[in-house]
Chains A and B, each alone.
Chain A
Amino acid sequence: MAGNYRIPPAVNEVFVQIASQVCERARMDYDEWLVNSQELAFHLQERWREGIQDGLSTEAAQERALKLFGDLGQVARSLRKPWLQRLLHYKRFQPQRYGFFILAFFFYTWFAVVDTHWRKLLEDDVYAPYYFLLPIDGSFWTDGVGAMFVGFAAALCVVVDKWRPHLKFGWVNRLLVVKSVLLAVAGYALFLLVVRFSYLAAVNLPDAFDEFGAYTKIFIPVCFAHLMGIALGWLGAVCLLYEIWGRRWTQLRLNTVFAGFLLGWFVCFGLGGRPGHDSTAPIVHDTLNFNAVDDTQNGHLVRKWMEQKCWLSTQDQHLKGQHQNGRYVYQTCESPSTDDYYDLVYVYADGTWKFDDVQIETIHGLEFDWYLSVIVKNLTMAQGQFSLQNGGLSGADRKILNQIFDAKPFTKPAP
Chain B
Amino acid sequence: MSEDAKSRVEQLLRAVAPILKQQDRTVAVPAHVLAKLKATQEKKFPAWKELTAKEMEPLLLQVLAQGQMDGFDLISRLEKAHVRIKGGGEAVNYGVLSKLVTAGLVQVDLEDRSGQMRKLYRLSDTGRMQVETAHAPEFQSLVSAVLAAG
The residues of A with any CB-CB pair to B shorter than 8 Å are: 22, 34-36, 38-40, 42-43, 46, 54-55, 67-71, 74-75, 77-81, 85
Which B89-123 residues sit within 8 Å CB-CB of chain A?
89-92, 94-96, 98, 102, 110, 116-119
- Asked if B75 is at the interface (CB within 8 A of a chain A CB), the reply is yes
- Asked if B32 is at the interface (CB within 8 A of a chain A CB), the reply is yes
Contacts of B30 in A (CB 8 A): 55
Contacts of B38 in A (CB 8 A): none
**Size of the chain B interface, CB-CB below 8 angstroms:** 25
Bound complex: CA A248 to CA B62 (Å): 37
Bound complex: CA A38 to CA B53 (Å): 23
Q: Write out, one digit per residue, whether chain B residues 61-97 have a CB within 8 A of any chain A CB (1) or not (0).
A: 0000000001110011000000000001111101110
Bound complex: CA A79 to CA B71 (Å): 13
Which B23-55 residues sit within 8 Å CB-CB of chain A?
30, 32-33, 36, 53
Q: List 25 A-B contacts (CB under 8 A).
A: A35-B117, A35-B119, A36-B94, A38-B117, A39-B72, A39-B118, A39-B119, A43-B75, A43-B94, A46-B72, A46-B76, A55-B30, A68-B89, A68-B90, A69-B89, A70-B88, A70-B92, A71-B89, A74-B92, A75-B92, A77-B95, A78-B53, A78-B88, A78-B92, A78-B95
CB–CB A75/B94 < 8 A = yes
**Nearest CB of chain B from residue A165's CB, rounded to whole Å:** 31
Contacts of A38 in B (CB 8 A): 116-118
Can you name the residue of chain A whose Cβ is closest to the Cβ of B87?
A: A74
Contacts of B75 in A (CB 8 A): 43
Contacts known (A78-B95, A79-B95, A81-B102); A42 close to B118, Cβ less than 8 A: yes
A interface majority secondary structure? helix
CB–CB A71/B88 < 8 A = yes
CB–CB B91/A75 < 8 A = yes
**Nearest CB of chain B from residue A234's CB, rounded to whole Å:** 23
Contacts of A85 in B (CB 8 A): 102
B interface majority secondary structure? helix
**Nearest CB of chain A from residue B27's CB, rounded to whole Å:** 14
Bound complex: CA A369 to CA B53 (Å): 67
Bound complex: CA A43 to CA B91 (Å): 8
Nearest 3 A/B pairs, CB to CB: A70-B89, A78-B95, A75-B91
CB–CB B94/A39 < 8 A = yes
Bound complex: CA A54 to CA B117 (Å): 27
Bound complex: CA A40 to CA B97 (Å): 13
Bound complex: CA A74 to CA B87 (Å): 10
Bound complex: CA A35 to CA B75 (Å): 17
Can you name the residue of chain B whose Cβ is closest to the Cβ of A34?
A: B117
Contacts known (A55-B30, A70-B88); A78 close to B36, Cβ less than 8 A: no
Bound complex: CA A85 to CA B88 (Å): 25
Contacts of B117 in A (CB 8 A): 34-35, 38
Bound complex: CA A68 to CA B84 (Å): 11
**Nearest CB of chain A from residue B138's CB, rounded to whole Å:** 24
Contacts of A69 in B (CB 8 A): 89-91
Q: Write out, one digit per residue, whether chain B residues 113-149 have a CB within 8 A of any chain A CB (1) or not (0).
A: 0001111000000000000000000000000000000
Contacts of A39 in B (CB 8 A): 70-72, 94, 118-119
Contacts known (A35-B119, A78-B95, A78-B96); A42 close to B72, Cβ less than 8 A: yes
Can you name the residue of chain B whose Cβ is closest to the Cβ of A67?
A: B89
Taking each of B75, B91, B118, which has the highest tally of chain A beta carbons within 10 Å of its own beta carbon? B91
Contacts of B102 in A (CB 8 A): 81, 85
Taking each of A67, A70, A80, which has the highest tally of chain B beta carbons within 10 Å of its own beta carbon? A70
Bound complex: CA A36 to CA B36 (Å): 34
Can you name the residue of chain B whose Cβ is closest to the Cβ of A54?
A: B36
Contacts of B90 in A (CB 8 A): 68-70
Which B7-35 residues sit within 8 Å CB-CB of chain A?
30, 32-33
Bound complex: CA A78 to CA B75 (Å): 15
CB–CB A79/B118 < 8 A = no
Bound complex: CA A78 to CA B102 (Å): 13
Can you name the residue of chain B whose Cβ is closest to the Cβ of A76?
A: B95
Bound complex: CA A74 to CA B119 (Å): 21
**Nearest CB of chain B from residue A16's CB, rounded to whole Å:** 11
Residue from A40, A55, A67, A81 in contact with B94 in the complex, judged by beta carbons closer than 8 Å = A40
Contacts of B72 in A (CB 8 A): 39, 42-43, 46
CB–CB A43/B71 < 8 A = yes
With A39-B94, A42-B116, A78-B92 already in contact, 9 other A-B pairs whose C-beta atoms are closer than 8 Å: A22-B91, A39-B119, A43-B75, A43-B94, A55-B36, A68-B90, A75-B92, A78-B88, A79-B94
**Nearest CB of chain B from residue A199's CB, rounded to whole Å:** 36
Contacts of B91 in A (CB 8 A): 22, 40, 43, 69-70, 75, 78
Contacts known (A39-B71, A69-B90); A79 close to B119, Cβ less than 8 A: no
Can you name the residue of chain B whose Cβ is closest to the Cβ of A28?
A: B98
**Nearest CB of chain B from residue A64's CB, rounded to whole Å:** 12
Bound complex: CA A34 to CA B36 (Å): 38
**Nearest CB of chain B from residue A53's CB, rounded to whole Å:** 9
